[in-house]
Structure 1
Amino acid sequence: MIQNFLLKNAPNRSTDMLHKEINGKHEYHNQTMFTLIEELNLPYLKVDQALNVLSWNEMFSYLTDIKADELQHSSISELAITHSIAEFFQDQMALSTKYVQITKSVYENGGNVLNVTFIPEVEDNHVYYFIMLEDLSLQTKYEELLTFQHQMQAVSHIAAGVAHELRNPLSVIKGFLQLSHLTCDFQKYYNTIISELNRMNIIIEDFLSVSRKKTNRKWQSPSNLIESLVELMKAECLLHSVELQVDFDKSFSICHINESMFKQVMLNLLRNAIEAFDEGASYKYLKVSSKEIGEYVHIELIDNGKGMPKDVLEQLGKPFFTTKEKGTGVGIPLCKKIVEDHGGKFQILSERDVGTKVILTFPLLV
């Protein structure tokens, strides 16, 4: 390609001069490549077209366990080099007549993985070949270690998530026990406490499962699910002096929802909203509403808490990011994942000293 370009753009120059210029460019390229190989201390072997070894470096000898006296005055067919490398090299010798660099991964007898790069080069009208080796065994071991680390992180996510998700039903149970003590009427809250204990058991089973594929979703009304949570929400808000406002469409539209996970998300967000209020705030309110827009049901939770600055809002949702002293940073990411697994969307809008709005959207059956 270089030769065609020069011939086209220099019609008055002699062919000899052009060949000299082309050869000069090749020599410069080869010298640059050789210098780079030497500087990086990459294992290499250089041979001619007769397969005679011309040069090598210590790294090649070390990696292949071939001593210098064996390499000197020998041909590649005489070397104790792995069959797969020699076969690859000979195949490329037969096929390559142009400057083409080819790389292939091969396995040594010991199980190590080597990247073999075959580089033809032209020098003074003679063709030579570089064989460069790259040992990938350390990289492979590192990747295996990284995979194990990711597995351990997944276990940590599950453990932290279990602890976080059990707090909600425990808080509800604690709240109802306190209310039953104040009202001297335990029987009134008995069924709710049992229900929350059952939900704790379901949460544990969810996190112990390898995946959330077995979600047991049903076609049901989101409005009915929210309505079933109202008493729980009222009790929680009452304990923290928060006014709860509820406004939802009592429609017959249905979504394909896992009831336990939906309630888990709603109570998670309720708890987050309550914790966002300053203790000394004179008036605290939380509004929960739902409405249908097109083919989706929109559920909103709006509070007048302290809100979040832009930099915190941008980080929110990343695993383990939290601004709470005892937070785990898994609650919001888990809520987001549950909503998205249902084909919905999860959005948080917030402004410092104004409040926060969380918007959940779920697809309706149309």
Structure 2
Amino acid sequence: MEERKLKDWEKSIQILFEKSPHLKGLIKNPVYYSNAPWAAQVNRHFLSNTGGFAGEHFYRVVFKQGSPQSLMTIGSGELSGLKTTSVVHKGRIKSVAGLELVEVPTASNLLPMLLMMGMFGAIQHRLAYISDICIDIRNRQIIGDHARLERISEVILDCFEGIPEMDQNMTRLNLARMVSTTDECLELVVVLREELAGESRAKSAPYSTYDGIWVEVQGPNWSKSTYVPADFMRNMTHHNVFAAYERFVAGKICQIVLSGNYSPSNIERSKQSAIRVIEPIRKIFEERINAHRNGADELANLIQQLNQNCDADIGNWTPYDLKRAYSQQLKTISNIEDRLHQLLDAKLESFDFLSRLANTDQIDVYLIDGAIVISEKEDSTLQK
């Protein structure tokens, strides 16, 4: 099997661990690395407020459930009440230092930006499809409204992958940009959905359809044509409406990250807006899937008649072909429904993941020598 190509951040993690082998035992599940200019600024801020030295000390910021924008607090002792960071000297933890927050703009913006970086690293690691949304579109022939799909993909990817480089002003600008792009994407979903519905209406389905059996349809000017309904359904699942829907969900996820609002109500609102988009798309397939179910029921009735009376009239079917056709009918229905689930409902898991991530002691942000490393603790709820 061909070895997977490492991403740039993974290569940076490898280099970091080669320089400081002891860090590998401390940072057990890294999911992102960034040495963006903003990361160096954050490091300088922490060092200046704790008397640390670049290259010798690093800090671990833990975002806890219930107060995701605050550091852990020391409960007792000389540093009681201060916020904590782990102080590491030459790769080994030497002590736990107290970090007093300084009331300056940099400090007030510090924790929200760290939280954004932490969420970004975990999301990029788990929801890799966001980083791949441009690949399949670039391989298609883009014409008409479909050209908008490529542009929307580029904007989403640019905003998402640009998060590590953003200061707060740039974050606000990109949030506005993302809201506008997601609204445009929703409009495109509607256009493409109606296009798919029109294609479906042009090839009407009879009451019962079967795998491999052609049906005749009436066209304009009394013309006639034939098609295989099962094959037509499979082709329908490759329509660009599904690509547009995927980008709509990706845009909603990016909006949440850029806004920094991980409240359950905000995530649920975004999820519900995605659910409302799903239903009209699924409805286009309902009549065709039901027609195939009707065909399966008719085959099942013939099999039942044959089981009750070996001389029953089963038309041109042989007993073997009849059972094989019935099995294929059920398989096709299952495959189409599974495909629709992956294209539509499975995308909703992005919101569920984000909700779980925002409500667990999950994200550790390490500030190391001018860089930021995001690490996740192993958690079975995030493996689902």
What TM-score do the two structures reach when normalised by structure 2?
A: 0.23
Bigger helix fraction: 2
Q: Which has the larger radius of gyration?
A: 1
Question: Relative contact order: is structure 1 or structure 2 higher (C-alpha 8 Å, sep ≥ 6)?
Answer: 2
